[in-house]
Amino acid sequence: MRDDTHISLAHGNGGRLMRELIAEVFARHLANPDLDVTADAVPLEMDSRRLMFTTDGFTVKPLEFPGGDIGALAVHGTCNDLAVAGATPRFLSLNAFIEEGLEIRRLDRFIASMAEAARELGVRIVTGDTKVVPRGEGSGLYLATSGLGVCTHERTLSIGSVKAGDAVLVSGPVGDHGTAVLLAREQFGLTGTLKSDVASVLPLTQALLRVKGLKFMRDPTRGGLASVAHEVARVARVTVRLRAEAVPVRNEVRSVCEMLGYDPYYLACEGRVVAFVTREDAAEALASWRRLADGREAAIVGHVESPGEPRVILETPLGGERFLEELEDDPLPRIC
Amino acid sequence: MRDDTHISLAHGNGGRLMRELIAEVFARHLANPDLDVTADAVPLEMDSRRLMFTTDGFTVKPLEFPGGDIGALAVHGTCNDLAVAGATPRFLSLNAFIEEGLEIRRLDRFIASMAEAARELGVRIVTGDTKVVPRGEGSGLYLATSGLGVCTHERTLSIGSVKAGDAVLVSGPVGDHGTAVLLAREQFGLTGTLKSDVASVLPLTQALLRVKGLKFMRDPTRGGLASVAHEVARVARVTVRLRAEAVPVRNEVRSVCEMLGYDPYYLACEGRVVAFVTREDAAEALASWRRLADGREAAIVGHVESPGEPRVILETPLGGERFLEELEDDPLPRIC
């Protein structure tokens, strides 16, 4: 007898069970005027020819963690990539790779969570595909989302425009998402009350787009603040100098890092922005963030210098300094 | 010591190895003026506001099979969904879920194969994301592609417009892809010379867009011809009547189906089109396909009737008839 409460391979075969799963889980939660689950492709009404396109995959483990789940992450992760590029997210596609045996009630929760995140953002999930993979593969659920956004301004942001003298800002404490996922795994016998920072960064990026001296924004996900700084150093051929005392890090994140030997600068955030702004406009940028609920703990955390060679330097509280090297081994896999 | 010939978890961490993998495998093969592997999102120049958007996931096993591989499949599968919707594919996003331990040389072959398929089609892969999942998950490689296309015509195709009297056409033999993948698995001790039909259907769909009586097209992938017929019957509330003798099926596909008890009408194609056309224009549609290299074996395989209730009927060679039921159990999982 077929078990109707859990995913079976037949849910992926193009037949009745797949059709019903799509109708009862995906279409029910994600319903919107542009979603047509019987169409091969959907027409889009875009109000601009300045389109932006991006994509992201999600393999977070566990699938649920304090503050969010893989569904919310898959909406915000891709929409945040559009936001930091200066766009307003409009449409998403969704791919689900579902493991045979996943409880359908859990899948339903993740898709409901996607729908809620999309509604808050005013984004429509308009096309999707599901595949079922055999038990033992797929770790429950992988998601991929591709996003289309529109630019309603004339700004050109680019990593290559960052120059010596520019200020480095972060919009809030770093490492919350990485640490919350780590605690949710319970593999180190640690528990805590920390929540992931997974959220839309659109209010933050929209505020900064009004600051003339804005050069470049990025959300510090995989590899964290340090990896964003490295990418800028490498592409713009500059040195990025960060001040440890200026970088906001919650006490709980700091404690976990000290216990496990992690460095918070490399831990993933899913609702923060790192911005590079001219020295002249840094104070204005900071003020525009601090006026927002998600930017109250924003800080200027460093500045850009001309390099001997491109690198990232951390000034430590006691007046020393050390290099933040490019990430080699993974401190924390499967975090997003 | 790190093994540099196979994927490790560190290839997914946002650090040096990931950056190098993206540069040396993905960016090298997929290089085009719109691909920027350092950007969060890429701007698109679209020459039309009539955009079409679609997405598809790929979990085929084995990753290589006679006539193609997962890379070619991931380009053609998504572009074919745009083509049957009446659009010309322009841009793709790419998600790769890579299993730890996959040989980098193999990955390189799949991405090269994607690049070749994209070049032939005039499509650009402009944004991508890679995730690495632990050994034992992911079955080597899953891919997802989302596609953007433009409609350069004023046709409106819709499954709901299919009516009693319309003719059903297929562009070539059915079941080649499903059977070729099955043979590549060697799990039944069968071998053969059959190749997958994986290919672009764009020439076929473009030709048919010039036929006035065209109602609806679909590529019969998962669930095959029978599942397309079922979807039409269900949504348009009609009966679809197919003639077994008229449906082109290669001898090798027929033999494998007879040996294993499969029904070729349910087996996946990856380079065929099923079209519904008014009775008056069916001959013109057939002729326009037969002029093309990929349409030489096209055939009118049935017609649409008013239903007692929506269903699919197969007329058998000896004058009998049977229902083709909606797919319940999976004849052949992991086929695309």
Tens of pLDDT, residue by residue over B323-336, are 999 888 766 778 88
Cα(B17)–Cα(A274) distance, integer angstroms: 23
Tens of pLDDT, residue by residue over B68-109, are 999 999 999 999 999 999 999 999 999 999 999 999 999 999
Instruction: Name the pTM for this structure.
Output: 0.93
What residues of B are in contact with residue A7 (Cβ under 8 Å)? none
Tens of pLDDT, residue by residue over A35-51, are 877 777 888 777 666 88
Mean pLDDT of A162-168: 97
Residue B329 forms contact with A (CB below 8 Å): yes
Which residue of B55, B76, B161, B177 to mutate against A (max A Cβ within 10 Å)?
B55
- CATH number of B38-150: 3.30.1330.10, 3.30.700.30, 3.30.420.40, 3.80.30.20? 3.30.1330.10
Tokens representing B40?
């969060």
Mean pLDDT of A117-123: 94
Tokens representing B155?
């046709």
Tens of pLDDT, residue by residue over A128-159, are 999 999 898 878 999 999 999 998 788 889 99
Option in B85, B137, B219 nearest A138 (CB): B137
CB B216 within 8 A of CB B276: yes
Cα(B133)–Cα(B122) distance, integer angstroms: 32
Cα(A112)–Cα(A27) distance, integer angstroms: 10
One DSSP character per residue, A49-102 reads S-EEEEEEEE--SSSEETTEEHHHHHHHHHHHHHHHTT-EEEEEEEEEEEETT-
| Residue among A130, A174, A172, A100 nearest A30 (CA) | A130
pLDDT band at A335 (very low <50, low <70, confident <90, very high): confident
Interface A–B counts its CB contacts (< 8 A) at 237
| Residue among A34, A66, A9, A30 nearest A185 (CA) | A66
Place of tokens 């009609």: B238
CB A146 within 8 A of CB A93: yes
Task: Decide if pLDDT at B170 tops 90.
Answer: yes
| Residue among B147, B160, B301 nearest B220 (CA) | B301
Contact (CB<8Å) B54/A38: no
What residues of A are in contact with residue B56 (Cβ under 8 Å)? 95, 129
Q: Where are the domains positioned within chain B?
A: 38-150, 159-323
- Give the rounded percent of residues in chain A with a pLDDT score beyond 70: 98
Q: Is B159-323 CATH 3.90.650.10?
A: yes
One DSSP character per residue, A198-218 reads ----HHHHHHHTT-TTEEEEE
CB B110 within 8 A of CB B71: yes
Closest-CA distance of chain A to residue B2, Å? 10
Closest-CA distance of chain A to residue B331, Å? 8
Which residue of A129, A217, A272 to mutate against B (max B Cβ within 10 Å)?
A129
Tens of pLDDT, residue by residue over B193-205, are 899 999 999 999 9
| Residue among B87, B97, B78, B94 nearest B30 (CA) | B94
